[in-house]
Amino acid sequence: MTPAIQTPPPLAPNTLRIVPLGGLGDVGRNMTAFELNDEILLVDCGVLFPEDSQPGVDLILPSFDYLDERMDKVVGLVLTHGHEDHIGAVPYLLRRRGDIPLYGSRLTLAFVASKTKEHKLSNVAFHPVADRDRIRAGQFECEFLAVTHSIPDALAVAIRTAAGTVLHTGDFKMDQLPLDARVTDLRGFARLGEEGVDLFMTDSTNAEVSGFTALERDVHPALERVFLQAKQKLVVACFASHVHRVQQILDLAVEHQRKVCYVGRSMLRNMAIARELGYLRVPEGALIELNDLEQYPEDKVVIVSTGSQGEPLAALSRMANREHPVVSIRPGDTVLLASSLIPGNENSVFRVVNGLVKLGATVIHKGNALVHVSGHASAGELLYAYNIVSPKNVLPVHGEPRQLVANANLAKATGIPADRVIVASDGDVIDLRKGRIKVVGKVDTPYIFVDGSTVGDVSEVELTDRRVLGEEGFISVVAAINLRTATLVAGPDLHARGFLEGTEVFSEITGQVRAALEQALEAGADDIHQLRKVARRTVGAWVAKTYHARPMIVPVIIAV
């Protein structure tokens, strides 16, 4: 990996430059730029969801900095599938340039279309593609291949260029009995291998997991047991894009004579799109509206909800906190989390689980029952893929560093030379030239934070301040100074929030702050900023020594 910023050399003719703008080091914000002869093709444009250490942040976008001065060179954006970590940032990219052609499957583009509508973006250039379709975007010829994932209509993409052929798997696994009978196109992978794949970019999420990923069908018996054992209300939380899982729940609900109610805006939107396009089969009379929920006995309903990742504003979190306007969790209810944990969300998820358990619910999740299987290829499947593709070079993608390294080791185990396997990080600039890849530089790829309606205005400095406020509280110090006479007119008054709220605790330090300010004034201090530093330093030293704490200290010095 290349730790420091190193300006890459000018791009040589007929050399393919690959710049990961997100997704190499995180499970999220996936985006890669492919640059050739003054043209750029993008693959994916997703978001990363914030962790507890990023308070107030709604979403994290890929770094668009590299593209901002090259936006006119972009000839297309290929979207491999409809998960948020691959499409969630598309509207923010289109705000920078609204006419970028978008290529993806029907379901993927339908999900994107609903987002662009919410963002009030018009005249978006959608170009639906299907398995084995070939399109040309500038100098890039793209061929799409079916892959199995935890969402319908996922695609791998082979990118043919003057510099060589790249095969990007997107997210994939090799489920041989998928619920929609759409298997990963291994024959297509093998055909490309015979033609020659110069660079193989492979999903790394499960590279540390031995063997093969379990089949989606293997989940059915555990789901059926949940339905058999649930005696009251049943709440199922899953990803709002997991059409296959919702289909299983719908079928079981009909079998067990329960009505299904969707809860959560994204769940309602996505399932409506999936149904309209024919990816979700809804039996007649199976669905009911949220407002009609109370008309049915609790043992005759299934609530399919968002919030499986513990998102604070999602429906399931509101249920756990007794804040949902319609759905109340009571002793004897059953809650099923039919999803895996996204790294970084563990605390949020178990906070919700604990809240549900305190309300008397039985909570079933992947940790205590086979109610979810991964959508990503495990080590056995990755080895299989390397052997049938026989690539000249490998660049593992989509994963944390440990997963990228594990994937690289699998590639080397199949005989690919170590110097042709690169473990890269976001911002590494990699050139494919004459059949070999090489890291030639690094560009800055900072996180872009979305906070409400603001994009990019929140920095790490603000996040540090928010963490301090949330964890340690703050102390304000207010004093009035007459700079003309160099005297303290009023104060200091100390107040706190989130830190030992009683004002009596400040009786000791108040005199020290007064003395420090008066001493500074006698020494000739006539600058408000300098006096603030005196107050902050005095209070900070006292708090650290007395309470071993580091609250934010906010000095307010008023000149009169």
Number of other residues whose CB lies within 10 A of the CB of residue 484: 9
Comparing 448 with 12, the larger pLDDT belongs to 12
pLDDT score recorded for residue 2: 43
Least confident of 173-182, 209-218, 398-407, 543-552: 543-552
Do residues 135 and 44 both lie within one domain? Answer: yes
pLDDT of residue 498 exceeding 50, the answer is yes
Are 37 and 162 within 8 A, CB to CB?
yes
Quote the CA–CA distance of 230 and 333 in Å, as a whole number. 7
Do residues 175 and 312 both lie within one domain? Answer: no
pLDDT score recorded for residue 3: 52
CATH of the domain at 523: 3.10.20.580
CATH of the domain at 134: 3.60.15.10
Task: Choose from 45-59, 158-172, 481-495, 542-556 the range with maximum mean pLDDT.
Answer: 158-172
Distances (CA, A) of 147 to 144, 189, 199, 271: 9, 10, 18, 21
- How does DSSP classify residue 475? E
- Give residue-wise pLDDT tens across range 332-343: 999 999 887 676
**Range(s) of the domain holding residue 245:** 216-364
Q: What region, left, alpha or beta, does residue 101 occupy, with left being phi > 0 and alpha being psi -120 to 50 degrees?
A: beta
Are 549 and 499 within 8 A, CB to CB?
yes
pLDDT score recorded for residue 451: 64
Question: Which of 364, 399, 428 is the last residue before a domain boundary?
Answer: 364
Do residues 165 and 29 both lie within one domain? Answer: yes
pLDDT of residue 472 exceeding 70, the answer is no
Do residues 24 and 169 both lie within one domain? Answer: yes
Quote the CA–CA distance of 504 and 377 in Å, as a whole number. 61
What value, to the nearest 5°, has the Cα angle with vertex 269 and ends 182 and 221? 50
Q: Which helix (H) or strand (E) holds 540?
A: helix 528-547
Split into its structural domains, the chain has a count of: 3
Do residues 342 and 482 both lie within one domain? Answer: no
Over residues 22-47, mean pLDDT: 94
460 within some domain? no
Do residues 439 and 352 both lie within one domain? Answer: no
- Give residue-wise pLDDT tens across range 351-372: 898 999 999 999 998 878 888 8
Least confident of 29-33, 420-424, 487-491: 487-491
Question: Which of 364, 392, 418 is the last residue before a domain boundary?
Answer: 364
Quote the CA–CA distance of 131 and 188 in Å, as a whole number. 10
**SS3 of 48, please?**
strand
Pairing of the two strands 74-78 and 39-43: parallel
Strand partners, 442: 6, 428
Do residues 203 and 233 both lie within one domain? Answer: no
Quote the CA–CA distance of 88 and 50 in Å, as a whole number. 13
Do residues 138 and 282 both lie within one domain? Answer: no
pLDDT of residue 344 exceeding 70, the answer is no
Do residues 27 and 50 both lie within one domain? Answer: yes
pLDDT score recorded for residue 287: 95
pLDDT of residue 4 exceeding 70, the answer is no
On average, the pLDDT of the chain sits at 89
Quote the CA–CA distance of 187 and 135 in Å, as a whole number. 20
pLDDT score recorded for residue 504: 65
189 within some domain? yes
Residue appearing with tokens 């962790």:
51
Least confident of 47-56, 83-92, 301-310, 419-428: 47-56
Q: What are phi and psi of 93, to 5 degrees?
A: -70, -40
Quote the CA–CA distance of 506 and 477 in Å, as a whole number. 10
Distances (CA, A) of 48 to 24, 28, 409: 12, 4, 26
pLDDT score recorded for residue 1: 45
pLDDT score recorded for residue 124: 94
Tell me the one-letter amino acid at 506: F
pTM of the predicted model, to two decimals?
0.81
Provide the sign of the torsion angle of the four alpha carbons 200, 79, 271, 355, taken in this order.
positive
Do residues 353 and 305 both lie within one domain? Answer: yes
43 within some domain? yes
Question: Which of 338, 364, 390 is the last residue before a domain boundary?
Answer: 364
301 within some domain? yes
Do residues 167 and 59 both lie within one domain? Answer: yes
Distances (CA, A) of 345 to 53, 240, 309, 310, 353: 11, 16, 6, 7, 12
Do residues 53 and 201 both lie within one domain? Answer: yes
pLDDT of residue 20 exceeding 90, the answer is yes
- Give residue-wise pLDDT tens across range 128-144: 999 999 999 999 999 99
461 within some domain? no
466 within some domain? no
Quote the CA–CA distance of 386 and 375 in Å, as a whole number. 19
pLDDT of residue 558 exceeding 90, the answer is no
305 within some domain? yes
Least confident of 371-375, 464-468, 523-527: 464-468
Which residues have CB under 8 Å from 402's CB, separation 6+?
A: 208
Looking at 69-201, list the stretches that DSSP marks H as alpha helix, in order from N- to C-terminal side.
84-87, 90-96, 106-118, 186-195
6 within some domain? no
pLDDT score recorded for residue 54: 53
pLDDT of residue 401 exceeding 90, the answer is yes
